[in-house]
Structure 1
Amino acid sequence: MAAGVGALARSYLAKATEGEVADADVMGGQVDIGTLSRAALILNLEKRGLSTEGSKVALRDRLVDWVTKKYDFDSADVATAQVQASRDAAKEESGSVYVCGVNHRGQLGLGDTEPREQFECVPALMGRAVDAVFAGPDFAMAVTEDRYVYAWGGGGQAALGTRQPQPQRATPARAPVLEGPAAAAETVRGWRERHAAAAAEQGVAPYSFSPRESLRRPASTDFLAPRIVDKLRGEGVVAVGIGVNHCIALSDGGDMFAWGTGRHGQLGTGKFDDAAEPELVESLASERVAAIALGHSHTVAVTADGVPFAWGRADQGCLGLGTTARLGAAGRYAALFPSPTALPSLAGRLAVRQVACGPTHTIALVSGDAPVWSWGDGSGGKLGHGDLAGRIEPEPIQSFLGEVVLQVAAGTWHSACIVEQSPFVGAGILYTWGTGLSGQLGVGSVSKALEPRPVYGFIDRGHSVKFVACGSHHNAALTHDSQLFTWGSNKYGCLGAEVVDEFAAYPQKVWAFDVIFDGVGRGTPRSVAVGREFTVVACFPYAGPSEQEVIEAEQAEALAAKAAAEASPPGSAASGMGGGLDLPWSRELRTRGSAVSFADETERPARDGHSPDSPGSAFSGIGVGGRMPGRSLFGSSRRDKACVRNLKMKVVAAYLLAVLGGNETPTEADVSKILAAAGAEADAEAVERLFKAVAEQDLSKVLDAGMKKLVKIGGGGAAAPAGGAAAAAAVEEEEEEEEEEESVAAGGMFGGSDDSSS
């Protein structure tokens, strides 16, 4: 018994003592409890609230039992935590939402109000298959593939649509609406006095047009994390438009549901009442709405037939109705249109495909030779017409005549659009215009552009843009291959990129996605939204290699480089090469804890926010049509002869890796497994040809023969003697032979032919 007790206790006690033994010593030490005196045993049992009756052996056994149970309990906690962490990682990798930036209103949905300078996963949305995200000034929403709508932020007072209407003790009183000259002459003070008098007469509370009066709620923290908007369950919502104080959800059936502040008629219900929860907009029930956009106090919708409707506040021309006064209305109601009204200059003439709204201006994408139209407040040049004047009806932007435009977007002081550019389909060149004192235009030192200007930061990198989101102080864009770029103000770290300054005047690559971070894979971005100095990104499920596979790939690449260097003659080009296999993720990521580093430094964005093509920058020398190191300009779907030859070389390299790893007779399955681990296609036909070529051959002799061919076609690094007719003649005589041998460098090295596959 004593020996067993000693063996057990030595794993818990830090040292022998005649006094009190601390819990940390008991749990983490290695000294026999049996060495404690009776007095020490009693002292430690009393400390733990255990009985001190009995012999020393009984006291010792009692303390041992306590230690054992405590250890088992803590071990169970650790195991439970590990299981939960594993489950959370799996949920996150199945598709999640990530946020960064300001958080004082709970707009990040992380359960607190602390800002984040790096993208962080929203726990409540892990594995929810979020299809799209949307952002307002200080709150955000998400729509899942199952058509559930989640909302969060706004300090608990935004139009989240997640609460029941607060009961009122009495209906607020309203004074009669004045008409004619009396209404025009009435002051705000007079209006308030008339309503106060009416309320006193009726003995009820006065009516208030305070923007958020009907949305106020008791102090709560339920807005800090995403919650389902119950009133939208089962409605098939596919998109949400967010204004400053109102929201409109669009269903797959073309129905609209509105809620929030309605004092300017922006809900489209024909009234000026607020709505705490989503309500069906019946004024367009006969139309199938296909697109919506919301400004500060106005809304624009487009039907499936391309007919645009607008409603809300029109005093800056943002409705595009050709007038700022409603017929028959007076006073403060004259500039308010509470019901959807068709735009006379576009309806029936041009089919509108998409709309975007800033706080006080609107951009529309239409079919025809003049694809982009704008109207509303023109301050700062955000309409793109070359001046600062506003427009009360739509006018085409001359810069885009004859172009194929894919998308339009509107921020607070600037606007943007994407013009399709060959060879990409569904992506193109990004243009911006307006005012961007925080670098929102993405064109360097230019802070104001009255006409659209291309964002060369994408062109110079060989990127084409497929989606852009404009906020008040910063922007975000997705490229043709779903890489995320951000630029503009970086206050509170809202760009989520490696930016040292307070803003970035050129697009910056965000390296936080399609990578492994802290051992968990983050998927490719599928949707991005920007609010006032915060960013929300929804990702596809992670489909890349595991962390272990990344490490193995690094080791394989290093081994291939070492083998190539050792096999090459001294001074040859191959002996100094920096890598072997062109592994698709080898230059993307190196994960060590939470630190993210990159093997290929030439792919890093410029940290100082300067132009990507400025001298000394990471992208210096890459022009239009250029390509990033290791990245095809045309994406992975473009296959040409060089790609096919590269695939054959990967098959050969995989075979050599297997042999160098100790497998003297690798099988086709071994080679295919190595290729799969490297992220390359395991072309069964290419693998089969390789094994036919090397059948019954001595690998060392084959390598020697291949190396001689490599030197013969110019692989060596030795310089040719200068001058001499003999040297020139030798080059001419070998020219045809070199071309032939270059074409068989991949397969002919093993005695096979490439004719059948080239």
Structure 2
Amino acid sequence: MGLGFDAYEPTPVSGLPDDVSAIAAGHYHSLAVTSLGHLWAWGRNSEAQLGRGSPSPRESWNEPRRVEGLYEVRVRVAFASGVISSAIGDDGSLWVWGKSKRGQLGLGKDITDAVLPTRVTALLDQEIVKVSLGWGHALALTRDGKLFGWGYYADGRLGTIGKALEASPLDSIADKITSTIKDSNSMFEAAEKLVLQAIEKEDDMPIIWEPTLIEDMHDVDVADIACGLDHSLILCSNGTLLSGGSNAYGQLGREKSDLGLHPVDIQLRPISIASGLGHSLAICEHLPLEATKQEPSVVTWGWNQNSQLGREGQENVPMVVRSLDGEKPIFVSGGRVHSIAVTTKKEVWSWGCGRNGRLGLGSSANEFEPMLVESLEGFQVLGAVAGLDHNLVLVAE
């Protein structure tokens, strides 16, 4: 079963089949796909994100169980957010379940919950290969490089999608809140009032209820996607990296603060991307002119309150994590305030906030730069993903 307690080092999850081939981590729940295409889930189930149909007692949530409603679907891969889960069948079909008032299910106008997996009919004629889920928005990538988006579209996190771009109520007053607090310590109450007023305005949220082709990407092949809490990263096949959405923490990685999707100010060539809650990560190739540096590097930017960038320097500018020089990263993932990377040596490195043992290093200490997860030495790591405050690592037996 799932642990039900804090684990300070990687600990086996019991109760799963021995042929797990893919993993996914939501904010507080986990998913595992087997070689037979069966999907298992455990963790938080307050929004029905475990796909168990009828209500289940809270004490059973940490027990891995097979997701109901997908018995006739051979699942290839799964993805999760805080409040919903999704699965892609081997035929490219997209299935979703959970609850989201921000349209993240993509099942149609005003449909905010699905207790069991439900197929996204708006994408019936598309072969989906990847989905990325933010706080209330979602992106889906097709086999032929088309990009669809849906959900909460404020701040241009879905680019131009047939609607006028507008700032979210919270982001539109961000500067005003900051200046109010700086003016006087006695103004905290006034700043709090501004936030509450902005939240009330979100009752009339800008939402796209069904997957819609993102117009900005009409003539561009998309290679990879990643959604943070309220921002999006889109990697084009030509190596251009675009960002859109909130830039409250510098997570867009660009000086241009215009709403919508615009190029990230990055000097290297990204080959894969990931996002934490408010920070962004990329594995990048160095340009041919940099003859002394041929191995890929991890590049980070954005929120760095707990050193989740793994480096010093300007936070809103994409910069290389130098302490990983000499390693060959093949995968990165970000949580709330921590990050992890997997290398060609089949090793896992982690950095950032260590609270509750989320770095897997045996303590709650923060790490300002990547540290090797030594307790995984001897295992062949096949993959690793970061949830909000936890990680899943898939290893070969």
TM norm. shorter chain > 0.5 = yes
Give the equivalent residue in structure 2 for 1:278. Answer: 117
Counterpart secondary structure, 1:345: helix
Counterpart secondary structure, 2:61: helix
Give the equivalent residue in structure 1 for 2:372. Answer: 509
Which one of the candidate residues 310, 313, 318 is aligned to 1:452?
Answer: 318
CA drift at 1:263? 2.0
Given the alignment of the two structures, is residue 226 of structure 1 paired with residue 64 of structure 2, yes or no?
Answer: yes
Counterpart secondary structure, 1:230: coil
2: distance between equivalents of 1:498 and 1:472? Answer: 19
Give the equivalent residue in structure 1 for 2:2. Answer: 109
Distance 1:130 1:410, change over 3 A: same
The one-letter amino acid paired with 1:450 is N
Indicate the structure (1 or 2) with the bigger Cα radius of gyration. 1
Which one of the candidate residues 339, 361, 365 is aligned to 2:235?
Answer: 365
Which one of the candidate residues 13, 21, 34 is aligned to 1:144?
Answer: 34
CA drift at 1:261? 1.3
Counterpart secondary structure, 1:457: helix
Give the equivalent residue in structure 1 for 2:93. Answer: 255
Relative contact order (alpha carbons < 8 A, sep ≥ 6): 1 or 2 greater?
2
2: distance between equivalents of 1:233 and 1:333? Answer: 38
CA drift at 1:399? 1.6
Structure 1, unmatched stretches of 5+, are: 1-107, 166-216, 326-330, 516-522, 542-758
| Structure 1 stretches of at least 4 aligned residues deviating more than 6 Å after TM superposition | none
Distance 1:218 1:120, change over 3 A: closer
CA drift at 1:159? 3.5
Distance 1:128 1:158, change over 3 A: farther
Aligned-pair identity in percent equals: 27
CA drift at 1:505? 0.8
CA drift at 1:118? 1.6
CA drift at 1:220? 3.5
Give the equivalent residue in structure 2 for 1:527. Answer: 383
1: distance between equivalents of 2:85 and 2:329? Answer: 28
Give the equivalent residue in structure 2 for 1:120. Answer: 11
CA drift at 1:514? 4.0
Given the alignment of the two structures, is residue 315 of structure 1 paired with residue 154 of structure 2, yes or no?
Answer: yes
Give the equivalent residue in structure 2 for 1:482. Answer: 346
1: distance between equivalents of 2:205 and 2:375? Answer: 50
The two structures have a TM-score, normalised by structure 2, of: 0.84
The one-letter amino acid paired with 1:493 is G
2: distance between equivalents of 1:318 and 1:159? Answer: 26
- Structure with more of its chain in strand, by fraction: 2
Any residues of structure 2 matched to 1:377-526 within 5 Å, and which? 377-386=246-255, 389=257, 391-400=258-267, 403-421=268-286, 428-444=296-312, 446=313, 449-459=315-325, 462-497=326-361, 502-515=365-378, 523-526=379-382
The one-letter amino acid paired with 1:452 is P
Deviations 1:629-680 (A, max 9, x none): xxxxxxxxxxxxxxxxxxxxxxxxxxxxxxxxxxxxxxxxxxxxxxxxxxxx
The one-letter amino acid paired with 1:458 is L
The one-letter amino acid paired with 2:279 is H
1: distance between equivalents of 2:121 and 2:319? Answer: 41
2: distance between equivalents of 1:532 and 1:161? Answer: 16
The one-letter amino acid paired with 1:383 is L
Counterpart secondary structure, 2:135: coil
Counterpart secondary structure, 1:316: helix
Give the equivalent residue in structure 1 for 2:212. Answer: 341
CA drift at 1:324? 3.9
2: distance between equivalents of 1:475 and 1:116? Answer: 17
CA drift at 1:458? 0.7
Counterpart secondary structure, 2:356: helix
Give the equivalent residue in structure 1 for 2:51. Answer: 162
Conserved? CA contact 1:441–1:488, under 8 Å: yes
Which one of the candidate residues 25, 49, 55 is aligned to 1:135?
Answer: 25
CA drift at 1:243? 1.4
The two structures have a TM-score, normalised by structure 1, of: 0.45
Distance 1:218 1:292, change over 3 A: closer
CA drift at 1:283? 0.5
CA drift at 1:218? 5.7
Structure 2, unmatched stretches of 5+, are: 167-201
- Structure with more of its chain in helix, by fraction: 1
Deviations 1:219-274 (A, max 9, x none): 43221111111212241212222112112211221110011114222111113221
2: distance between equivalents of 1:514 and 1:233? Answer: 36
Any residues of structure 2 matched to 1:150-229 within 5 Å, and which? 150-154=40-44, 156-165=45-54, 217=55, 219-229=57-67
CA drift at 1:333? 5.5
The one-letter amino acid paired with 1:536 is L
Conserved? CA contact 1:162–1:227, under 8 Å: no
Conserved? CA contact 1:319–1:392, under 8 Å: no
Which one of the candidate residues 102, 114, 125 is aligned to 1:264?
Answer: 102
CA drift at 1:334? 5.8
1: distance between equivalents of 2:308 and 2:26? Answer: 17
Deviations 1:717-745 (A, max 9, x none): xxxxxxxxxxxxxxxxxxxxxxxxxxxxx
Give the equivalent residue in structure 1 for 2:180. Answer: none
1: distance between equivalents of 2:338 and 2:66? Answer: 28
1: distance between equivalents of 2:67 and 2:220? Answer: 36
